[in-house]
Amino acid sequence: MIIELIIALLIGILAGTFTGLAPGIHINLVSAIILGSLAYLSQIPVLALAVFIVSMSITHTFIDFIPSIYLGAPDDESFLSILPGHQLLLKGMAHEAFILTLYGSIFAIPTILLITPAFITGLPILFTLIKTFIPFILIFLSLFIILRDEKPLIASLVFILAGSLGLLTFNLPIKEPLLPLLSGLFGLSNLLFSLKSKTCLPKQQIKPLKEIFLTKKEFIRSSVASVIFAPLCSFLPGIGSGHAATLGSEFIEQDNRGFLFMLGAINTIIMGLSYVTIYSIQKARTGTAASVQILLGELSKTNLTIILIAILLSGIISFFLALHLSKFFSKNINKLNYSDLTLAVIIIIVLINIIFSNWLGLLVLATGTSLGFFTISSNSRRINLMACLILPSIIYYLF
């Protein structure tokens, strides 16, 4: 059994590397394929399949900032890195930008392990107390972010339109509804805007790790924000790393470098704690956590321990793997025609949606792309596009 788990861990790391690098291929999609293929995987222990999903998801959180920083093709967890990451990319400092997110992700691994005992003990009590108020908490957080926007009227419009699109998407017969929804809002829209801008990239610098660091002040602010807001947002439906990072930067001021570290940390902490949440309150707040819950049912202490070990090992391995991948991209990104590369990524995302979705999904993709493009063009916060998940959650809990 141990050999099967080790193999599952290593294959999961490879899969997470692929999903992290490939725009439009999300870990939720791979997890769904696993669940849909259980009849053909009957010889594989379900615990090994769960370890595969866990290691894939953790690796994904380390790697997925590469396409968002280098290519401007984010997923729903890494889209906030585009602005500071792209600024550093245009200065030839994309590697440094990515390493800062990588520092945050590796910081998250021991943080997850340290938080877990308190999470297991306190979350059931907290969740029982606030369960009735969840939709109102979601409404408050949404209003807070909208009103803090420089253009609250446009932010409100974006929130309403994105929320309505989410409601329609989840109530239509669309295969893999999250794929066209998130690909349009956060993927194609930014790629088309990047293509329109005709970006010319400078040669990228590759600094040694010892020269890439946060100041003591930056580290304290970003790490404290991560440790406070990631756990608070990890068990609320529709609320993800983007909201935690936005709240963290609102309450604890961050510069671009600290923000990238914080975003990397929050991204990994929320993913890791999503599995602890299953054990603690039997609720799945991420797609991969839901898949693990379906595979294993109610988690035992033994299964949770194995999952935590998988998080630890995959995090350590992913750090060094991601480091080498970033060096490779830095050495080669300026040799490529950025417009041609962006166009190729756009074609790949469209083809993926054609393969895994249907004509209604393509309609959602086109609508989401238009709304995302409008949001970027109007300089509104893209976090408001997450209403596509929040508004359906609010209505579900209210009614």
pLDDT digits (tens, 9 = 90+) for 162-215: 999 999 998 988 877 877 887 888 778 877 877 766 656 678 888 888 888 888
Domain that holds residue 154: 2-398
Out of 129-138, 321-330, 374-383, give the one with best mean pLDDT: 321-330
What is the per-residue pLDDT across 93-125, written as a single tens digit (0 to 9) for each?
889 999 999 999 999 999 999 999 999 999 999
CA angle (272, 277, 279) in 5-degree steps: 110
- The span from the CA of 152 to the CA of 139, in Å, is 15
pTM for this one? Answer: 0.84
Going by C-alpha positions, the residue among 257, 301, 264 that lies closest to residue 101 is 264
- Angle of helix 301-332 relative to helix 256-281, nearest 10 degrees, comes to 160
Number of domains in the chain: 1
Q: What is the mean pLDDT of residues 280-294?
A: 87
Radius of gyration for the alpha carbons in the chain, expressed in angstroms and rounded:
20
- For 353-379, the pLDDT digits (tens) are 888 788 888 999 999 999 999 988 888
In 3D space, the residue among 393, 349, 361, 7 whose CA is nearest the CA of residue 236 turns out to be 393
- According to the model, what pLDDT value does residue 82 have? 53
H or E element in which residue 364 lies: helix 359-377
pLDDT for 305? 95
Task: Say how far apart CA 143 and CA 124 lie, in whole Å.
Answer: 27
CA dist 208 and 338 (Å) reads 26
Q: Are the C-beta atoms of 254 and 90 separated by less than 8 Å?
A: no
Confidence of residue 89 (pLDDT cuts 50, 70, 90): confident
- Report how far residue 179's alpha carbon sits from residue 134's, in angstroms, rounded to the nearest whole number: 26
Task: Specify the 3-state DSSP secondary structure of 357.
Answer: coil
pLDDT at 24: 59
